[in-house]
């Protein structure tokens, strides 16, 4: 009984409960047909949302005002540059990955330069830098779609017994990032800055260095996701990052991370990402019009956040 | 004999008209006001504009043809852009509008300043402007008519729509539904929004597919066919007939299937080069030609036998395209 009560107090329970309820509602509508297939698809696509959300979550945890709005542009830039460098060549997969991560890191360095050196608030800095990066991606790729190397395409779409391999890799990465958050000095410093930046500074923590590293890391996660999405969907497109801007923030918040910073939660990301995908699938399956779909999406997200935040420990 | 004389007279007339037009608009400046550049179709559109108008400027047909794109796809931004063009003294503004009615104020100001406004693709409703519209509804209907001929026994259809709330999406979808109503052997069993993007379409189809019965064909709006094919493959479902939208990756995939198993479909969309048609129409209006306010552009349709030729001329990763010449524009104006 105490175990159950303990479980119910977890901040991520709302996201998982919501995802489960929506899945059941979908399966009930189709009378059980395709329940497993929907879950496989949800895992595939949730992986991408989770990967960008990990970076976003670390940034948001840094405290009020910290957010990275350049994620879509970073994904597009990293995807476009790495696809063009690889040019469908299997031997170039690893250099391509390094280039995608490098693009992401470069974006992070640039963003933090704007924030720290020019003292521009993160929202403005990352939003304006995203114009630069998207323009760079447009002029570099000239709007063309280059196919990924076949091996990368096979890997990103590889499914074993209904479980996407990429999702398993994503879960391992999530676990690693969770350990880093809770068990390393870096992770604890991120949380400490978010709870009280002044106190963290007075305690002698390297606030600037950790904030810098966090923005660079967020950029690298976006770069990695851009690389993987390009492999998964047959090439980099200029608008491929668009839907990940809101998704990265929504997944973080629904997953039980405090939007005010100082309190992060990694397991919740998966529940939230699954929930968002299943929600769209359910509304598509029910055959609602676009207007009703958008209204219901808003209502359900608000409901889940309201329920989830009700269980959040205070402070 | 008579016909030869006739032709000679006609030809002389054409030459005279052509020379006259060069003389009359050589000092005119035309601007392109474009609201968005963030996808391959729009990139091709701008490239076509650049290619054709650069030549026209070199040939001294017009004095300038500058392209401007707003950063944010916002109505207010584009309205300000048009007002700037009025101040800069352009003789004609060619506009791909962010909204059919929200720019009407700025367009009216331009007309009042004696500027010719030609809208295309994203058209404006302000009566003083010219409209080069696409019969999107017919495009949707054509897809179903093609299917009706191809598979007379009918079957289940999956519909992939575009961006919710956009006029074009509503029109194509209306046409598809009208076609299905006239061909009741077809039934739309699922409808998702793919936002004209392969990855979004792939995601939406992958989600809804497991719960759907056997799909015979997928009706699309362009830029979503390849994503749909990927989703069917990932779900281990037999590949249905997917209508394509002229993107190079779609055509390349079609060719691959055609070579492997004789796969048959068709592809239809609007050539991004429609911007060059708008350019020539603006030039003709400046030249004093009597041009009707509402013009319709033809679709660019690719069929089984024209696939290879089109694939060859389409840039890798781009969109199948046609650029229009002055003669094409005159044909469209003449209603041919």
The verdict on residue B304 lying in a domain is no
Element containing residue B300 per DSSP (H, E): strand B300-302
CA angle B326, A144, A229 (to 5 degrees): 150
The verdict on residue A7 lying in a domain is no
The verdict on residue B306 lying in a domain is no
What is the domain range of residue A84?
12-22+36-309
Contacts of B256 in chain A (CB under 8 A): none
Which of B225, B243, B261 delimits the end of a domain?
B243
The verdict on residue B55 lying in a domain is yes
Residues B65 and B214 in one domain: no
Residues paired with residue B120 on neighbouring β-strands, in sequence order: B132
Q: Tens digits of per-residue pLDDT, B228-239?
A: 998 998 888 899
Query: pLDDT at residue A223 above 90?
Result: yes
Closest to A148 (Cα-Cα) out of A72, A217, A240: A240
Q: Tens digits of per-residue pLDDT, B272-325?
A: 899 999 999 999 999 988 899 999 888 889 999 999 998 888 887 788 888 888
Cβ contact A34–B212 (<8 Å): yes
Residues B45 and B113 in one domain: yes
Interface of A with B in 39-78 (CB under 8 A): 40-42, 44-45
Interface of A with B in 226-245 (CB under 8 A): 229, 232-235, 237-240, 242-243
Into how many domains does chain B fold?
Answer: 2
pLDDT-based confidence at A109, cuts 50/70/90? very high
Of B165, B190, B198, the CB nearest to A237: B198
Percent of chain B surpassing pLDDT 90: 47
Into how many domains does chain A fold?
Answer: 1
Contacts of B142 (CB under 8 A, 6+ apart): B175, B179, B268, B299, B301
Average pLDDT, chain A: 86
Residues B128 and B275 in one domain: yes
Check residue A1 and give its pLDDT. Answer: 58
Of A36, A237, A293, the CB nearest to B199: A237
Residues B128 and B10 in one domain: yes
Cβ contact A33–B211 (<8 Å): yes
Residues B189 and B289 in one domain: no
The verdict on residue B311 lying in a domain is no
Note whether B248 contacts A: Cβ–Cβ < 8 A: yes
Cβ contact A284–B199 (<8 Å): no
Residues B125 and B7 in one domain: yes
- Domain containing B227 — which CATH number? 3.40.50.2300
The verdict on residue B310 lying in a domain is no
The verdict on residue A1 lying in a domain is no
Q: Give me the sign of the Cα torsion angle A113, A119, A125, A129.
A: negative
Going through chain A in order, the beta strands assigned E by DSSP cover 159-160, 163-164
pLDDT-based confidence at A296, cuts 50/70/90? confident
The verdict on residue B76 lying in a domain is yes
Residues B128 and B191 in one domain: no
pLDDT-based confidence at A16, cuts 50/70/90? confident
Query: pLDDT at residue B54 above 60?
Result: yes
- This complex has an ipTM of 0.74
Taking the C-alpha atoms of A91, A92, A95 and A99 in order, what is their torsion angle to the nearest 10 degrees?
-170
Residues B195 and B291 in one domain: no
Residue range B222-231: mean pLDDT, rounded: 90
Q: Give the residue with greater pLDDT, A32 vs A240.
A: A240
- Domain containing A209 — which CATH number? 1.10.3470
* Cα-only R_g, chain A: 19
Tokens of B127: 């009566």
For B168: left if phi > 0, alpha if psi spans -120 to 50, otherwise beta; the answer is alpha
List the single best residue of B199, B228, B229 to mutate versus A (max A Cβ within 10 A).
B199
- CA A111 from chain center: how many Å? 18
Q: Give the residue with greater pLDDT, B164 vs B121.
A: B121
Check residue B19 and give its pLDDT. Answer: 46
Q: Tens digits of per-residue pLDDT, A132-167?
A: 988 888 778 766 677 888 888 888 888 888 889 999
Q: Tens digits of per-residue pLDDT, A70-86?
A: 999 999 999 999 988 88
Residues B118 and B141 in one domain: no
Contacts of B182 (CB under 8 A, 6+ apart): B144
Residue range A48-71: mean pLDDT, rounded: 91
d(CA A171, CA B160): 31
Check residue A144 and give its pLDDT. Answer: 67
Query: pLDDT at residue B22 above 70?
Result: no
The verdict on residue B266 lying in a domain is no
Of A26, A142, A285, the CB nearest to B43: A142
Whether the CB-CB separation of A224 and A47 falls below 8 Å is answered with no
Tell me how crowded residue A173 is: count the other CB atoms within 10 A of its CB.
16
Element containing residue B188 per DSSP (H, E): strand B186-193
Residues B282 and B164 in one domain: no
* Cα-only R_g, chain B: 22
Residues B118 and B165 in one domain: no
Residues B104 and B154 in one domain: no
pLDDT-based confidence at B49, cuts 50/70/90? very high
Note whether A158 contacts B: Cβ–Cβ < 8 A: no
Residue range A246-250: mean pLDDT, rounded: 86
What is the domain range of residue B237?
136-243
pLDDT-based confidence at B3, cuts 50/70/90? low
Residue range B52-69: mean pLDDT, rounded: 90
Query: pLDDT at residue B159 above 90?
Result: yes
The verdict on residue A28 lying in a domain is no
Q: Quick check: helix, strand or coil at residue B161?
A: strand
The verdict on residue B218 lying in a domain is yes
Q: Give the residue with greater pLDDT, B243 vs A138.
A: B243
d(CA B261, CA B255): 10
């Amino acid at each position: 009984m105490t175990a159950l009560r303990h479980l119910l107090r977890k901040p991520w329970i709302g996201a998982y409960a919501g995802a489960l309820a929506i899945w059941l509602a979908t399966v009930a509508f189709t009378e059980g047909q395709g329940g497993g297939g929907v879950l496989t698809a949800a895992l595939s696509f949730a992986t991408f949302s989770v990967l960008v959300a990990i970076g976003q979550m670390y940034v948001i945890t840094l405290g009020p005002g910290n957010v990275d709005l350049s994620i879509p542009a970073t994904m597009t830039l990293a995807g476009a540059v790495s696809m063009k460098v690889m040019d469908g060549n299997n031997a170039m997969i690893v250099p391509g990955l390094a280039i995608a991560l490098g693009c992401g890191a470069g974006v992070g360095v640039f963003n933090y330069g704007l924030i720290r050196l020019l003292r521009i608030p993160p929202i403005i800095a990352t939003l304006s830098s995203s114009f630069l990066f998207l323009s760079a991606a447009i002029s570099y790729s000239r709007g063309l779609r280059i196919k990924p190397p076949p091996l990368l395409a096979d890997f990103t779409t590889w499914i074993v017994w209904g479980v996407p391999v990429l999702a398993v890799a994503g879960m391992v990465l999530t676990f690693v990032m969770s350990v880093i958050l809770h068990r390393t000095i870096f992770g604890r410093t991120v949380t400490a800055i978010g709870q009280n930046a002044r106190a963290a500074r007075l305690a002698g923590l390297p606030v600037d260095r950790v904030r810098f590293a966090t923005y660079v890391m967020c950029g690298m996660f976006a770069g990695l996701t851009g690389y993987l999405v390009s492999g998964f969907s047959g090439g980099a497109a200029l608008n491929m990052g668009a839907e990940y801007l809101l998704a990265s923030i929504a997944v973080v918040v629904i997953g039980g991370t405090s939007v005010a910073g100082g309190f992060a939660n990694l397991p919740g990301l998966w529940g939230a990402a699954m929930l968002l995908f299943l929600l769209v699938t359910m509304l598509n399956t029910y055959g609602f019009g676009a207007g009703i779909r958008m209204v219901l999406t808003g209502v359900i997200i608000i409901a889940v956040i309201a329920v989830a935040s009700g269980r959040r420990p205070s402070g | 004999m008579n016909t030869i004389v006739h032709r000679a007279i006609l030809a002389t007339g054409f030459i005279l008209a052509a020379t006259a037009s060069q003389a009359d608009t050589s000092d005119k400046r035309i601007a392109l006001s474009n609201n968005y550049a963030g996808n391959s179709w729009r990139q091709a559109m701008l490239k076509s504009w650049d290619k054709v108008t650069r030549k026209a400027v070199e040939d001294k047909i017009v004095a300038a043809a500058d392209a401007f794109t707003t950063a944010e796809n916002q109505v207010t931004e584009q309205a300000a852009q048009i007002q700037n063009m009025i101040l800069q003294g352009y003789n004609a503004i060619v506009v791909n509008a962010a909204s059919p009615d929200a720019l009407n104020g700025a367009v009216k100001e331009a007309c009042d300043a004696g500027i010719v406004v030609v809208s295309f693709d994203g058209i404006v409703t302000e009566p003083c402007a010219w409209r080069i519209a696409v019969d999107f509804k017919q495009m949707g209907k054509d897809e179903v008519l093609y299917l009706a001929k191809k598979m007379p026994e009918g079957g289940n259809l999956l519909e992939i729509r575009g961006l919710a709330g956009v006029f074009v999406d509503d029109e194509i979808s209306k046409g598809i539904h009208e076609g299905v109503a006239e061909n009741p052997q077809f039934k739309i069993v699922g409808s998702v929004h793919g936002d004209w993007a392969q990855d979004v379409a792939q995601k939406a189809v992958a989600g809804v597919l497991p719960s759907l019965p056997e799909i015979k064909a997928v009706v699309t709006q362009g830029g979503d066919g390849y994503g749909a094919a990927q989703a069917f493959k990932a779900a281990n479902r037999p590949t249905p007939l997917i209508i394509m939208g002229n993107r190079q990756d779609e055509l390349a995939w079609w060719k691959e299937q055609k070579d492997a198993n004789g796969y048959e479909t068709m592809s239809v969309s609007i050539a991004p080069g429609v911007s060059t048609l708008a350019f020539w129409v603006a030039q003709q209006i400046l030249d004093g030609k009597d041009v009707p306010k509402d013009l319709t552009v033809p679709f660019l349709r690719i069929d089984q036998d024209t696939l290879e030729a089109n694939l060859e001329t389409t840039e890798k990763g781009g969109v199948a395209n046609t650029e229009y010449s002055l003669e094409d524009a005159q044909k469209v104006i003449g209603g041919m």
